[in-house]
Structure 1
Amino acid sequence: MPLKSRLAALFEQGSRLIRRYPGTVALFGFCSGIASFVLVERHAGLAKVIAATMLASWLWLMLENSLRRGLERHFGWKVPRPVLRYVTQMVHQESLFFIIPFFFITTTWNSGQAVFTVILGVAALVSLVDPLYYKWLAPRRWVYLAFHALTLFAVLLTALPIIFHLSTPQSYLCSLIIAVLLALPSLRGLFPEWNWKSMIAVPLLAAIVGLAGWVGRTWVPPATLWLNDVAVTMSMDDASREPGNRLRQLSSRELHGNGLYAFTAINAPRGLKERIFHVWEHNGRRVDRIPLDISGGRDAGYRAWTHKRNFPNKAQGRWRVRVMTEAGQMIGMLRFEVTE
């Protein structure tokens, strides 16, 4: 049997199996996504391979129509639409269930970041349920475009620091630019005719999406940075890099005696070097912003602390130390209270 006929028969058989057992696609996407996250966490050497595979699958997804037409024109291989449709769904599922554990860990749930992570969770649920994905999402062009761009953006936020050791600000900016550029063909499809109005509207719409993404960066968790341990303490052991007694409340006299340490152990990908900030706030007002340089790769997280001495005379009230990236994304928060 010629190669062309064998491939056509293989595609047709795959199409029949998918139509007969549609739930297996969802199950495979879910399991492979979770397995990828676990492998990244357990074996740092596989992290780049898995992240690169995720990006390669998205490259295929972006070129899907061009590849399908090229195969049909040059080789006469006609890939059935059901196969392409289910492969697209599987890429969405694998991507979402690979990145959601990262965002679940890194989200500060009592902040606006919870909204972004919940939206990703809803998107993952939609990708699993065929009636929602095919009958509600796919026919609505705007909604599907937003779904597609959001998933790609989240994948890039997770993969770029792992593969290229980009800092959080660099990863965010690159992810936003790439997602907007790759969304341009889809934005073009929103306009039935290509004229001067659509030539202005497409880049303008892309610029609005990019600006909204940059302004809203504080609502997006840093996908590959999270806190393994935190403590507010009055003493630090420099040799063991361990905090002393952990405090939730202290008196004003104790505070002014020797100051206070904010200790954080931050998990980061191997090879990543990042500048973060401890932002000290008193009753919601920022009083200090202290920089720290961290390096990734340590299983227990990179242990670092700031020691603040210059507290105001009237220091009573609620304090918090927000752990922030240079891009303004919050990694986590420490809270304590100062009494009379």
Structure 2
Amino acid sequence: MLLSTFKPQVLKLIELLQRHPRLIALYGFCSGMASFFLVDRGARVAKVIAILLLVSWLWLMLENLFRRSVERLFGIELPPPLMRFLTQLIHQESLFFVLPFFAITTSWNSGQALFTGLLGVAALCSITDPIYNRHLAPRRWLFLAYHTLTLFAVLLAALPLILQQTTAQSYRWALGTAVALSFVSLLGVFRGQRWWRVLGLAVLILALGGLGWVTRVWVPPATLWLTEVAVTPDLDNHQRTPGDGVEEVRAAELRSKGLYAYTSINAPRGLNERIYHVWRFNGREVDRIALDIHGGREAGYRAWTHKQNFPGNPVGRWQVQVLTEAGQMIGTLRFKVTPSELPPKPH
């Protein structure tokens, strides 16, 4: 009796979604932006949104069971085009949920721009029906790759919010889950094939997983971003504020006072994370200093390193890369060391 009461509402909702599919993309984008700003302010509502989003992915793995359950409970036979539309809806929701996180955390002058750009292209494909329905969905292997990329991005953004996992832990779990599910999905495609093809598929999936781990520096840490940075010779320890930032410093001043690399990092409430300040001289690593940060401060967690031990000739280009424990780059500080005395001008 209760199910028959809700049947007209379910039918109306399905009809509305079919009539106005663009509203789903707009809703996905707005909910993603709202989630980002809620996380930025430390609100718990973002966790609820992330949990609901992950729960919605269960239907993608249990599609046939879901269709049979709806038919048994509501007496509604869901046609294949509608099932594809619901899958497209989840892809839209997922991609527009994670895009604001990756957009703000991406170091755009690095390889991370490729990953975030790929997510942007995937999001555009999800709201462009001719591309999604005619070119993406019919090609099973391409569709599964698209699905795996989306799931990987969702897990990277959601796991630190839900479980307070560090970015290193969430990256391992997200990559392992995406690799495992892609293997199970592709195994269904290769069912009935010779054993050596299935073995080759397993080797290929493992190789892709290894590639995902090696190229993790190209994947932005979705829930960590820099709110304030400075390279400065002075720092107020009491107020925990840096002095004036510099882009160039003389070698003599560097040897006498050293240099501070100051970073303020925004992280979700409850997250305890180890990061590294990696000092590089002309592209070569010369020092790696560990720092422990704690999430929840609206202005970001303030941390710094003070380097006083420099090479005999420090003149050149320097970088301080801010990395997670897994090697993902949060950001980069740059400065240049000039000679103590400028060479005389030629007459």
Normalised TM-score (structure 1): 0.93
1:122 is aligned to 121
Mapping 1:113-192, distance limit 5 Å: 113-192=112-191
Structure 1 residue 328 displacement after superposition: 0.8
Unaligned runs of 5+ in 2: 340-347
Match of 1:40 in 2: 39
The residue that corresponds to 1:265 in the other structure is 264
Counterparts of 1:201 and 1:143, CA distance in 2: 18
1:191 partner letter: F
| In 2, Cα distance between equivalents of 1:83 and 1:279 | 51
1:37 shift after superposition = 2.7
Residue of structure 2 equivalent to 1:93? 92
Runs of at least 5 residues in structure 1 that lack an aligned partner in the other structure: none
Matched, 1:284 2:271: no
- What root-mean-square deviation, in Å, do the aligned CA atoms of Structure 1 and Structure 2 show? 2.0
Q: Distance in 1 between matches of 2:309 and 2:13?
A: 68
Aligned-pair distance for 1:53? 1.0
Corresponding residue number in structure 1 for 2:342: none
Give per-residue Cα distances to partners, 1:227-250, cap 9 Å, x unaligned: 000001111111110001211111
Partner SS, residue 189 of structure 1: helix
1:238 aligns with 2:228: no
Tell me which amino acid in the other structure corresponds to 2:322. Answer: V
Aligned to 1:247: 246
For 2:213, give the aligned amino acid.
W
What SS does the corresponding residue of 1:303 show, helix, strand or coil?
Answer: strand
Q: Distance in 1 between matches of 2:140 and 2:155?
A: 22
Instruction: For residue 114 of structure 1, report the CA deviation from its aligned partner.
Output: 0.7
The answer to whether the 8 A contact 2:226-2:331 is kept is yes
For structure 1, which segment, 244-253 or 184-193, has the greater mean C-alpha deviation from structure 2 after superposition?
184-193
**Displacement of 1:10:** 5.0
Shift of 1:39: 3.1
Moved more, 120-129 or 43-52: 43-52
Q: Which amino acid aligns with 1:170?
A: Q
**Equivalents in 1 of 2:294, 2:151: separation in Å?**
27
Q: Distance in 1 between matches of 2:48 and 2:3?
A: 32
Deviation at 1:11, TM superposition (A): 5.0
Match of 1:321 in 2: 320
Cα contact 1:12–1:80 (8 A) shared by 2: no
Instruction: Tell me, in whole angstroms, the C-alpha distance in 2 between the residues paired with 1:68 and 1:197.
Output: 34
1:215 matched to 2:214? The reply is yes
State the identity as a percent: 58
Higher mean alpha-carbon deviation, 59-68 vs 292-301, is at: 59-68
Whether contact under 8 Å (1:322, 1:332) holds in the other structure is yes
CA distance in 2, matches of 1:187, 1:175: 18
What is the deviation of 1:180? 1.6
**Letter of the structure 2 residue corresponding to residue 179 of structure 1:** A
Displacement after TM superposition at 1:32 (Å): 2.9
Cα distance, 1:83 vs structure 2: 3.0
- Is the contact made by 1:33 and 1:93 (CA closer than 8 Å) also made in structure 2? no
Aligned-partner Cα distance in 2 for 1:127–1:141: 16
Q: 1:70 to 1:203 in 2, by over 3 A?
A: farther
Distance in structure 2 (CA, Å) of the matches to 1:37 and 1:100: 9
- The 3 A distance-change label for structure 1 pair 25 and 32 is same
Which residue of structure 2 lines up, in the alignment, with residue 63 of structure 1? 62
The answer on whether the counterparts of 1:4 and 1:76 sit within 8 Å (CA) in structure 2 is no
Residues 322 and 330 in structure 1, CA contact (< 8 A), matched pair in contact too = yes
Q: CA deviation at 1:4?
A: 6.5
Q: CA deviation at 1:323?
A: 0.5
Letter in 2 for 1:189: G
Find the counterpart in structure 2 of residue 79 from structure 1: 78
**CA contact 2:42–2:296 (8 Å) conserved in 1:** no
What is the CA-CA distance between 1:170 and the residue it aligns to? 0.6
Q: Secondary structure at the match of 2:288?
A: strand
Q: Do the aligned partners of residues 198 and 77 (structure 1) sit closer, same or farther apart at CA in structure 2, a change above 3 Å counting?
A: farther
SS of 1:289 mapped into structure 2: strand
Residues 290 and 42 from structure 1, CA distance in 2 versus in 1: closer, same or farther, beyond 3 angstroms?
A: closer
User: What is the CA deviation profile of residues 69-114 of structure 1, one whole-angstrom value per residue up to 9, with x for unaligned ones?
Assistant: 3444677542233332222111111111111111111111111111
User: What SS class does the counterpart of residue 239 from structure 1 fall into?
Assistant: coil
Any conservation in 1 of the 2:264–2:300 contact (CA below 8 Å)?
yes
